[in-house]
């Protein structure tokens, strides 16, 4: 097996294939064996597990996953990486590479075809530009038992934030609706080729089922988006300004939950937003 955590080996491989990095695709390849091993352990991958990897790059994390998993579906957008992946993954019969944009996948259909197992997880070093969209789609799909992602540290802080934290935003609430987020460990910029300008960290998302109906869930998401769309306004004004509810119902819902009249959305946690959702449905 080729050691893809060795900078010399990576340089020789990509030069031989005439590959050059595309910055806009977030191509920073991991070089830390320690980070790979910790990501695999956190994902709970075993021989029964089917793993979705978004953006395999040259196959560094893919190889590590394939050593432990039953099946790996690796989705890579950059056609130029396919010949490299064919070489680096040639020893692994349990890996399939799909040339696709991960954001355009119909996840239920894709998983039915590419990962037809009951235990599915995601383990990926995401291209940072798709973080919010990818995390939202993965969680909304409810297809995965565990999601372990290497992300920009700033994004991890945002997704793990609590009310009162400067990074607290709609995404912090939405993530906590679907899963328990946890910052597992930091990864230094020196652990990548090329070296990114920003710090990175590994995020663990352990999904759980809330048991809400589709209608309740959609209302919950609308309330959260509306509350954070105008952060400087009170919750009452922010929700009244949105299209889905008039002021009287907003006031009644805020009262029913026992919140102060002048409370702002950014002071509420996920349970408070669930209380509001229930109050709107009364």
- In the structure encoding, which two tokens stand for residue 4, read together? 């893809």
List Cβ<8 Å contacts ≥24 apart for 90-98. Answer: 91/1, 92/62, 92/63, 92/66, 94/66, 94/69, 94/70, 95/62, 95/66, 96/71, 96/72, 97/56, 98/73, 98/74
Burial class (CB in 10 A: 0-12, 13-18, 19+), 232: exposed
* Contact (Cβ atoms closer than 8 angstroms) between residue 253 and residue 227: no
**Alpha helices for 161-244 (secondary structure H):** 170-178, 214-229, 235-241
Residue nearest to ligand SAM (CB): 55
* Contact (Cβ atoms closer than 8 angstroms) between residue 83 and residue 14: no
Candidates 8-16, 22-30, 139-147, 272-280; binding stretch for ligand SAM (CB under 6 A): 22-30
In the complex, the smallest distance separating the C-beta of residue 233 from ligand SAM, rounded to whole angstroms, is 35
Q: By rule CB under 6 A, what string of x and - marks binding of each residue 209-248 to ligand SAM?
A: ----------------------------------------
Question: How far is Cα 123 from Cα 148, in angstroms, rounded to an integer?
Answer: 5
From residue 17, give the alpha-carbon distance in Å to each of 13, 81, 84, 200: 6, 9, 7, 28
Please say which residue, 78 or 272, places its beta carbon nearer to ligand SAM. 78
Please say which residue, 49 or 200, places its beta carbon nearer to ligand SAM. 200
In the complex, the smallest distance separating the C-beta of residue 103 from ligand SAM, rounded to whole angstroms, is 5
Q: Which residues of 102-127 are buried (b: 16+ CB within 10 A; e: fewer)?
A: beebebeebbeebbeeebbbbbbbbb
Comparing CA positions, the residue from 66, 46, 40, 63 lying closest to residue 123 is 40
In the complex, the smallest distance separating the C-beta of residue 84 from ligand SAM, rounded to whole angstroms, is 10
From residue 257, give the alpha-carbon distance in Å to each of 58, 176, 282: 51, 19, 12
In the complex, the smallest distance separating the C-beta of residue 62 from ligand SAM, rounded to whole angstroms, is 7
Size of the site for ligand SAM (CB under 6 A): 23
Residue 171 touching ligand SAM (CB under 6 A): no
Residue 222: how many other CB atoms lie within 10 Å:
17
Please say which residue, 35 or 270, places its beta carbon nearer to ligand SAM. 35
Please say which residue, 84 or 219, places its beta carbon nearer to ligand SAM. 84
In the complex, the smallest distance separating the C-beta of residue 21 from ligand SAM, rounded to whole angstroms, is 9
Please say which residue, 125 or 236, places its beta carbon nearer to ligand SAM. 125
Q: By rule CB under 6 A, what string of x and - marks binding of each residue 23-62 to ligand SAM?
A: --xxxxxx-----------------------xxxx--xx-
Please say which residue, 25 or 145, places its beta carbon nearer to ligand SAM. 25
- Within residues 58-117, the interface with ligand SAM by CB under 6 A covers 60-61, 75-78, 81, 101-103
Please say which residue, 101 or 165, places its beta carbon nearer to ligand SAM. 101
Contact residues for ligand SAM, defined by CB under 6 A: 25-30, 54-57, 60-61, 75-78, 81, 101-103, 125, 127, 130
């Amino acid at each position: 097996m080729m050691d893809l955590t060795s900078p010399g080996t990576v340089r020789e491989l990509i030069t031989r294939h005439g590959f050059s990095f595309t910055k806009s695709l977030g191509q920073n390849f991991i070089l830390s064996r320690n980070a790979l091993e910790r990501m695999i352990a956190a994902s709970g991958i075993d021989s029964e597990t089917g793993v979705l990897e978004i953006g395999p790059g040259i196959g560094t994390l893919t190889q590590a996953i394939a050593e432990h998993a039953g099946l790996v579906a690796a989705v890579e957008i950059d056609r130029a990486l396919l010949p490299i992946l064919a070489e680096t993954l040639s020893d692994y019969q349990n890996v399939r590479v799909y040339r696709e944009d991960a954001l355009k996948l119909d996840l239920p259909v894709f998983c039915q075809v590419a990962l037809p197992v009951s235990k599915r997880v995601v383990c990926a070093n995401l291209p940072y530009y798709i973080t919010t969209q990818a995390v939202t789609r993965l969680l909304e799909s409810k297809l995965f038992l565990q999601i372990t992602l290497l992300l920009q540290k700033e994004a991890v802080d945002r997704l793990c934030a609590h009310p009162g934290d400067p990074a607290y935003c709609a995404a912090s609430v939405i993530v906590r609706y679907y899963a328990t987020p946890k910052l597992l460990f930091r990864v230094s910029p020196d652990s990548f080729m090329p070296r990114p300008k920003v710090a990175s960290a590994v995020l663990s998302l352990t999904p759980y089922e809330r048991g809400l109906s589709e209608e309740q869930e959609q209302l919950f998401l609308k309330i959260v988006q509306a509350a954070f769309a105008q952060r400087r306004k009170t919750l009452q004004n922010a929700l009244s300004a949105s299209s889905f509810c008039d002021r009287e119902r907003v006031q009644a819902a805020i009262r029913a939950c026992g919140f102060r009249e002048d409370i702002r959305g950014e002071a509420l946690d996920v349970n408070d937003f669930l209380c509001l959702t229930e109050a709107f449905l009364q």
